[in-house]
Structures are given as C-alpha cells and as structure tokens.
Homo-oligomer: A and B are copies of this chain.
C-alpha cells in the first residue's frame, strides 16, 4: 500500500543527512511496581514487543523508485519486524544517570534507515537505583516533538492498578479507567495525538512564500517578534552527526516561587535558567559574545489570541525571538530582560496577521528547512542562537502497566548552525530539561546541568525567595 507524503514531511526527509538526522526522542524513567521480579524489565520489553497489532503510522516507510515515478511516498513495510524497532538494552556499570545519558546520546546520533519504518524504542535496564529507562525516537516526518510526547502520554494512565495497557505503537487505543465510554473516547484521544502531529506539519506545508514575507518584514523591523541581531557563538557552526544528551529536572514549585517574586512567568524562569547556564558555560570557555544571545522560543497561542485555528481546532503555535540578556551579570536583571522580551514578543505576535503567525510557526516546525530559505534571501547569519522550547505535560502521576513514570525528558534536533537545542517538559510538579547537542560543537554539554542547577539557586537568591 502506497500513500503520498505531505510536503512538510518530505521536506524533513530531504533535509536529513548524516550530520542532521531529523528525529525527535523522549527519555522516560519509570519506577517498578511493588513486587516486581528480577526480570521485570524483560517482561516490560516483551509486553512492548508483543503488541498484537501495529498502528499504520509505525509500519510505513519512505520509498522512492521508478514505480512511483521517482516520487517519495509512504509504503507499508511488508517485512515489518517488530524486533528491529523494539529493543532491550542494558547500561554498563556503574549504571549511573551518566551512563544512561551516554547511551541515549549515542542512540540519538544514529540515523533511522529509510528502508524501515522510522522509529525505534529501547527499554533499558541496569540503572543502579533500580529504575527502568525507556528511550524512543521517531522521525520528524512521522510526528513532531510535541505530538511524540502526547502519543507517549496517550497510552499512560493515572491508575496504578491498570494493566493490559498497549504500547504507543499499538493499534488499540489506550483505555482510561475514568472514561465511561471505554470503546470510543480513548480512541479519540489517540486520534487527537496523531492528528495534532499531522495537523501541525500539514499546516506548515506550502508556506515558504508566507514565511519569506514575514522574515523580510522582520529584516525591515516591521515585526518586532523577529530579530536578526543574534551574535555569532560556538553554537552557530556546522555540526557533525554525533550527539550528546543531558537531562535533569527541578521542582516546578521552585520555578513558580522565583517567577512570583520576580514578576515573571514560569516559562520566563525556564528561559532565565537557560540564559544563566549558557552564559556561565560560554564564560568558562571564553566564548561569551558581548551582545546578548537570542533564543527562538515557540509558544502556544490560544485561538482568540492568534486569530487562527490549527487543524485540530486547538491552539496555534507562534515563535518569539527572545533576547536572553546574557550580557547582564545579575540573574534578576536577566530574568527581567527575558520577561520584557517575551511580553513584547507576545504583543507583536498577537498583532500579526493569521498568515504571518502560521508562517512564524514554520520557524518552530521546520528549523532545518529555514536556513536554505534564509540564504536565498541573502541572510547568512542565523536570526537566533538556540531554540528553547517548553512543552506542557501531564500534571499528575501517570503509570504504564503499574510502572510509575517519574521523569520525562525530550531529545530534539540540532541542525547546522544550531548545535544546541533545549527542550523542557513539565510532568507531575517537575520541570524536565532535555539538552541535545552536537558532540563536537558543544563540548562538555553535561556541564550545563550543573550551571542550570546553580542558576536556580542564584535566581532564588536574586529575587529574594
């Protein structure tokens, strides 16, 4: 069975090369349920592997041949082999988070072969604290990062006693015990997760014209949400295909308290943490530019704000260029600058036309497609230094077949000229940071975790929490 590939998905496939594999990932940490045996991880792996029926999304692979007149199409994999996609791995000793992040970085640095469906999922044992890790990667042509996370979440439950729960690639829907109509509603939930992913990418399709228009206005400072005054940093170089991944979470309560005292949103605090950490990181290697770094921050806009509804009738996504205030020494000053920059950006965004906002959204959806377009316009410097996203997740504790989800961290896509990507996601009172970087261009990526931690403390002190 052959189906067409929409233009945005095709663009992600064609933008891909060895240096910039176009897949997103997620790392989940689970606590085993009470009474779990020594072979619990194996049983968890087997449950995922033995999914009876696979959702069509996870069976198709891109294909191009004479019989398709040279067009790139989706084709069902007739030799689909679940054991290729669902894997069971273990960490070398001593089994710290460090070894886990190393393995994730390695798995994230390998390109998905087009000759098979574009996803892999690995259940990982060997953490010395006994937790089970689960790393999943999917090509951006299948799902974007947000949808990938929603898809994972759609199979979780708030009920620790629920069992017989499917894997995300299972064709059966997640069954929520709270739902009265068991047969119908979760199916919708599942479809929602998929349609969101598909909707978003479809939305961005065919929009380079509008995008260029918006960007041109940005150059002429007609739209203040677009800034083209990002300094050169080590992050804005050609990258290699190797990845390093760092992840950690912080209590949302701490971030909320800082925001409250500093008159800023939680998202502003997240940005301030990143700003302080990146500043310290660059200072240590004598690479901090004099002018402040600019982050591209995708934000959700409700339908009223944006005047435009996305495919699923929900929120549209815009992007704000946020000045990170990395030239300022005081954490409170940086937070204030970021807060100001984000407010101005949101105001500008809400005064944009629907077309402009949709075009802006392509910035967030298609970072890899953007640089060649910019170059066509004679813009050789990147308009921003890094991408910082913050994707809201579930607020309560969730389970998968009795295993308690205790942490969730996104892995994203560094591209040429954008070697570091920071994506955060909230879950159950914690804010999980996932830092994905090119192993060569961003040395000692792990240091950023220490700097992030120090920055939370510094912000608390600066705003007087």
List the interface of chain A (C-beta within 8 A of B).
17-19, 38-39, 41-42, 45, 79, 81, 83-84, 87-94, 106, 109-111, 113, 115-116, 125-126, 240-242, 439-440
Contacts and interface: CB of A to CB of B under 8 A. Distances in A.
A108 to B, nearest CB: 12
A81 B81 CA distance: 30
A19 to B, nearest CB: 7
Given A90-B91, A93-B125, A115 B81 contact: no
A436 to B, nearest CB: 16
A439 B83 contact: yes
Contacts of A18: 113, 115-116
B109 A111 contact: no
Contact of A90 (B87, B110, B126, B439): B126
A93 B95 CA distance: 13
A31 B458 CA distance: 50
A38 B128 CA distance: 14
A360 B242 CA distance: 43
Contacts of A240: 79, 81
A243 to B, nearest CB: 10
Nearest to A116: B18
A41 B81 contact: no
A242 B84 contact: yes
Given A19-B79, A41-B92, A84-B242, 7 more contacts: A83-B106, A83-B439, A84-B241, A90-B93, A90-B126, A115-B241, A116-B241
A326 to B, nearest CB: 29
Contacts of A94: 38-39
A215 to B, nearest CB: 30
Main secondary structure of the interface of A (DSSP, over half): loop
A109 B115 CA distance: 13
A23 to B, nearest CB: 14
Given A90-B92, A90-B93, A79 B241 contact: yes
A439 B81 contact: yes
A90 B19 CA distance: 27
A264 to B, nearest CB: 39
A88 B92 CA distance: 7
Top 3 A-B residue pairs of the complex, sorted by shortest distance between their CB atoms: A18-B115, A90-B90, A90-B92
9 contacts: A39-B94, A41-B92, A42-B93, A79-B240, A81-B440, A89-B92, A90-B92, A90-B126, A111-B115
Contacts of A90: 89-93, 126
A106 B86 CA distance: 11
A95 to B, nearest CB: 8
Contacts of A84: 109-110, 241-242
Contacts of A440: 79, 81
Contacts of A242: 81, 83-84
Given A90-B92, A91-B90, A106-B87, A81 B42 contact: no
Nearest to A92: B90
Contact of A113 (B42, B45, B111): B111
A90 B124 CA distance: 10
Nearest to A123: B92
Given A18-B116, A79-B19, A38 B93 contact: yes
Contacts of A89: 89-90, 92
Contacts of A87: 106
A374 to B, nearest CB: 24
Contacts of A125: 92-93
Given A18-B115, A84-B242, A42 B92 contact: yes
A92 B17 CA distance: 32
A127 to B, nearest CB: 11
Contacts of A88: 92
Contacts of A106: 83, 87
Contacts of A19: 79
A293 to B, nearest CB: 26
A134 to B, nearest CB: 14
